[in-house]
Every structure is written in structure tokens, then in C-alpha cells.
Structure 1
Amino acid sequence: MGYRFSLDDVTFLRSAAGRDALARCAELTLSESSWLADVARARARVGVEHAAAVLETVLLRRKARGKLADPGQWLLTDDALQQASAYPVARHRARRLAGRDVHDVTCSVGADLVALAAVADRCVGSDVDPVRLAMAEHNCARAGARAWLLRADALRPVSRSAVVVADPGRRDSRGHRTWRPADFVPALDALAGTYAGRDLVVKCAPGIERDAVPWADEVEIVSLDGQVRESCLWSGELATTGRRASVLRGDGSVTTVTDAESSEAQVREPGEWIVDPDGAIVRAGLVRQYAARHGLGQLDHRIAYLTGDTPPPGVRAFRVLEHGKYSEKALRAALRRRQVGRVEILVRGLDVDPSRLRPRLRLNGPREASVVLTRIGSTPTAFVCHAE
């Protein structure tokens, strides 16, 4: 669960002495093998009283690289960093709220608040934890984010007309992740009830079941560079469709698929390519819409792999070299015939563990290939492919 910061820690870290202490410990290795020696060095440089808070802050800033836009001056807790959205995801969500008054009722250390403040007309952040609130004040100031901050319980409204944004805690008292919406802090239904009639945006884990949030008018699944990151629940006038998949790339591009699009994709014979849609599209149940948009077909109506003669740009696709009914013996023979020594194995719709199958293939050759294992109707099928 990480070090538990106190308000005194935050006050020190924000001071000139604290900034100097952080600078003096910034170059420490802080690896498992060097930890004891680094702790001794930190205590000698900044004193026993503050060494733990300084070392934890140095570590968290390192972990935040690639997640926060500029974490070098941030104050963080381990839990807050784990739950914070990657900045491109937070920025994507905030863009839908541009020009609105926004109240982040679970602002924590301000990771989402900074993105919201950049586009909102007026922005308020509140939290029940005074330590995180003090960190948020520091972080917003460092990022140049204009936001009013106050201590308040998310279930006791202190604003009237602003869009409400919430990111409920999803860990129990022992730090274990919880998946039940009733166990979130605050619970999802309690949030929805408290802000009934207001525009509400709630960030959740991507695995949340649609039936668990009947009050949500739109469920958006967001991925970043191929990794599904979160669900976002939109209610009121903010919702523009029932289901949405947003595929974000590091270059700033965004691909959006919604259930308002045509789903007239057909099951067809395998074409020249196998296309593996982004996880956000699969999780959002929008594979048919994506297929119809790009003129692709489904290998099987229950399987998310698509096929066609021209793959969409920017998507992972596999050029089919050969395919047939799957068995280990037949697959081994096909790969040896092609002199494949290294193989990537993707499975969908079959009970096959790639990590166990790979050594059983006993391959030895100079070439590489990708194998897609799936089911077409009742037939287990293997595709030997070249990934592009």
C-alpha cells in the first residue's frame, strides 16, 4: 500500500527544505539490492524524520513517468498513482467537458483535475482526505491549473449545476482490488442517487458489467496504445450514444466506434488478412460496427476476429499464409515445413494455453510466424500468418 503520508509530510515536501531534500535524493538508485544503503544515505542527507516521505516521493515520481504529463514536481501517494488515468486518457475525457463548469468530487491528488481545469469554464475539486487534497493543491499550482479546492464528502453535494466527475476508490482497506460496484468508495449506486438529475461522469475499471450500472446512459471503453485502460460512464445530456469505444494512440489520434453505426457485417470465408480489433472495440461489443465500417467480415459471429482482403490502417493485422483444421500435429508440421523457429500464438474461442503449446511444437528454424487459433462454427481452426 506504500508509505502513508501525513499533512506534516506534505508541508515539508512543499517547502524549500523539502524541495532541496528531494533534489539531494533524486539520483539514488533505489533498487532492491541498493535499498538499505540508499535509505542510510537519505537519512544522512535529509534526516531520519523526513527520509521515508522523500524516498517514497522520489520513487512515485519515477513510476509516474509515462503516465502523468510532467511528474517531476508532483506529490503523490501509491494508491492515487495506481488509480490515476494516464494523461492522454484524462485529456480525452476532459475534452467532452470543454466549456462546462465541472466539479471533480473525488479529486484525490489532482491527476484528472489538471486535465479538466485545462478545458473547463470553472473547475472545482474536492476530496475527504486532507492529505490528498493538500497534494492536489500543490500539483494544480505546479501545473498551472486553475481549480478551486475544498474538503467535502462526495455524497454530500456542495455544488449545484456543475457536471459531476467521480473516480470511486476500488481497493479495500487491505489494498486489494474490488470489482463489486457496491464496494467502491463511494458506491456507484450511491453516487448515481446523490446526483440524480445532474450530468454525471464516472470513471471505472474496464471490466464493469453494463447491467451493474443501469443509470448510465452511455458506457465508453477507452484504450491507449493497444491497452484497455478504463470504462467511463456518462449520464444525462453528456451521453450521445449507448456504447462507445475510443481507441487512443500515443501520436494523439483517436478512433471512435459507437453503436449508432451500422452493424451489417456478415460471416464470410477467410480472406487474405485476419484482423484483431482493438480491445476497447471488443470490450464495448462493437466488433460488428467496426467490421461494417471497414468492409470486413467475421470468421464466426461469436468470435471477435475479422477477415478481409484489405486491413484498416493502423490496426494489427495478420497476412494469412495457410489455414486449416487445428491439431497440434498438423500445426507442428505446417510450421516446420515453413522453417519457423519463433512463433507468436493468439487464441480466441478455444481452450488452448499458448505458453504450454509453444514448447510442445518443438520448433527449430530461422523464420518467424504468427499463429491465430480460433473456432469457425464447431471447427477448431489454425491460421499460420505473417504479422504486419
Structure 2
Amino acid sequence: MDAFYRTHRYLVENLDYHVERLLMQEIDWSQPLIGIKGSRGVGKTSFLLAHARQYLNDERSCLYINLNSFYFTQRSLINFADEFYKKGGRILLIDQVYKYPEWSHELRFINENYPELKVVFTGSSVMRLKEENPDLYGKVASYNLRGFSFREYINEKTGLGFPAFDLQTILKDHKQLAKDITSKVRPLAYFQDYLHHGYYPFYLEKSNFSENLLKTMNMMLEIDITLLKQIELKYLPKLRQLLYLISQDAPATPNVSKLSTQIKTSRATVSNYIKYLKDARMVNLLYPINEDYPKKPDKVYLHNTNLAFAIDRDYSNPQILNETFLYNMLHKDHKINSGTLKNPFIVDQKINFDVSQDAKGTGKNSDIIYAVDMIEKGNENIVPLWLFGFLY
């Protein structure tokens, strides 16, 4: 146990992580069992350690553990929690929970038998905590950690503490918000860098970001999808090929028949693989209103713009990047459906959005919100595209 405490203290004291994630404020930390899901690379481990940092002066009350440890091949999580609790532990932070057999059953046991012990665990975005783990039904409060928003990226880069704004506030007060923000920073000076490498916090590491992201993407495919969805490893090349083919056409209506021929598998398998890629936060699917999986989506986007540059380092389609950015920022709290050629997105079944490269010719239709690139401030229904990066 002492070895875990030493590791815990070292990790927390050496955590180079200073921007506060919005999710930290959204979680009800009083809940006894909290699951934090997120795609690989978005900072789940750092998020747990940032939460643990506030308990450093109470050394025995909070402990971070990683279930990748070989220690847990010989000792049960239940026994560990029992010892931790008897020695004064009250907050157990568990990373990589899905690497441990029977994890959901043992978490339920801990939850029911140690009512004063709070457990926070992380898992892959591919996991279905409640649907696929009946042990946790009605027991776990589930949250999603996303990559950095543009706001979080700017805050980390500048040390400023800009707050997030909800969509209605942005649409109503965007002129004043843009004025306040641009009086302190030039957002467009950071925007292209964010599109290239700002979504995944490991850009902070002193290593090659593109290589790190490629490695992370392959681990998403090899572990988060094939392991959790129990796909034989021999089919991994088909998954990788499918992601590449989708990225070359995105955003486009997937031709399932053509894709099935190209990767030499059935149409049903292609549809399933596309859904798995969505669950792993590698793509976003755009459907008409009142339609959803298993129907074929209208369009498939990459989940975030960083992925486009990882797959193709010479990627250079600003319109698609801007649409991908807007979809990703809106997706956290809003339902996005396909619209028409004039307004490609319909948000919450009522707000029409168009994404434009410049302000020329925009604003004429008062029923459309124009998200426009390369402007610091907007007017009426013309809103700077970058400002939607302040939604979370």
C-alpha cells in the first residue's frame, strides 16, 4: 500500500497541468460512484490527478491507482479497497478500470459495502457503463471528458481564465463577448494551431505531437475497439483501412457497398465498424432529424480537426476543417442534424447553421446563423467561428 501512496504523491506533485477543465465544475463530487469516460489521449489520467491535488495535505484520504499494475493480477480490487478504507482512505481514484476482470461486479460490491468510500474511475469512450454493465445500473454517475476546447487551449496558452458560455448567450451577446475577449487576446492568432494540435492535451509534452497522435489513434483501434468490442485482432487492418477511406471523403455520405468491397467485408460489418469508430470518438455521424443508428448517416465527419492532420499531414481544406470544428464544439451539449446545402447543420431541431470562409454574402437570411472564419467580431446573425470554441 505504501508504494501506491509514494507513486500517488510523485504523480500529483509533478503534474504539469494547470488549466481547469470545465468538467471539473460539472461533476457532483459528492456522489459515491463516478465513472469518467473519454477517448484515449484527452487527459483522463491528468484529470484524476488534478482532482487528487486538492487532497495532498491529507495524505491518507485520497489515492490514485492504475489497474494496469501487475499487483492486481494477484490481489482483488475489493481487498485493496478494504485495506485502503481501514487505513483512513475515503476517495479512491481508479485509472484503466476495464483492464481488470470483473471490474463492474467488484465496484458494485465496494459501493454497497463501503458507503463512506467514494470511487472515481476512468474508462474508454467505447464502454457502455450502464447498458453493458448491469451491475452498475442505478449505481454509477457517468460523465464524459472531451479534448481541449478552443477556450481551454487559449487559457492554457495565455494563463487567462476565460469562462465558458452557453449557446444562447453566444448567439445573443456575441458582439460584446467578442469585444471583451479580443481586448485581452487575439483568438485568431491561436486558432490554426488549435485546429492542428490543440484538442489533445499531450501537445504539452516535449515530443512529436503528430507521432504521439498516430500512436494514440492506433491504440484506440487496437485496444479501445478490438478489445472492448471483442473483435479479433486479424480484422484490425480492415478497421484502419476503413478509417483512412472515411477520412479521405469526409464529410460525405458513406457508400457502404463500395466500402465493403474496398475492405473486403460485409455491409453489416462496415456499418458496425463505423459505429465503433464513432464510439471511440474518431468520427462523428450526421443524421437527418428523427433518424439515428442503425440507419445510414447523411455524412461522416472526423471527430476533431487534429485527426485530419494526423492522417494526412498536408491536409488543406479549410472549409471542412471549420465544419468539423463547429460540429465538435456544438456536439457536447447539443443535438446536431443535417440541414440543407445552404445550412448544413440544424442544432436542437430549430437553429440553422452555415459555416463560411468569409463574411461576404453572409447574413442575408435571418433564419440562419453564419459561423464565419477569420473575423474577430460579428454582427447580428454573423458570429465569429472561433467564439463557438468557448461553449465548454
Give the structure-1-normalised TM-score.
0.31
**Larger Cα-atom Rg:** 1
> Hey, which of these two has a bigger chunk of strand by percent?
1
Judging by fraction of residues, say which structure has more helix.
Answer: 2
TM-score scaled by length of structure 2: 0.31
Q: Which one has more relative contact order, counting CA pairs under 8 Å at least 6 apart?
A: 2
